[in-house]
Amino acid sequence: MTPGPGSASNPASTSALDGLDPLLNAPKRLAILAVLSGSSSTDFTFMRDHLKISDSDLSKQAAALEAADYLSIAKRGRGRGALTVYKITRSGRQAYERHRAALRNLLEN
């Protein structure tokens, strides 16, 4: 199991916490990846409305995920009609699925 950029600090650990990604412990960031895991791509407005958070908060959370290479951000168009579109990356999907499996493990054990 290859730890993601935000993975736990003790690589030797084999506990039920393995796979939990500190970056995804924040429900907002986890929810962003959950939405992207079930969509081909998602725009800013849909994501903001789904999470019920402010524009600036979404931008901040998405930037953190982009810095970890968990999602890509594309801008389409210019001016007031410009669209920001998010897409999950391969490493983002892997980290999300690891985190999700670890959560289920925790719940079952």
By CB under 8 A, name the binding residues for another protein. Answer: 24-28, 30-35, 37-43, 45-47, 49-53, 100, 103, 106-107
Angle separating helix axes 55-67 and 44-51, nearest 10 degrees: 110
Residue 12 or 107 with smaller CB distance to another protein:
107
Residue 43 or 69 with smaller CB distance to another protein:
43
83-98 core/surface letters (b: 16 or more CB in 10 A; e: else): ebebebbeebeebbeb
CB 79 to another protein: min, Å = 16
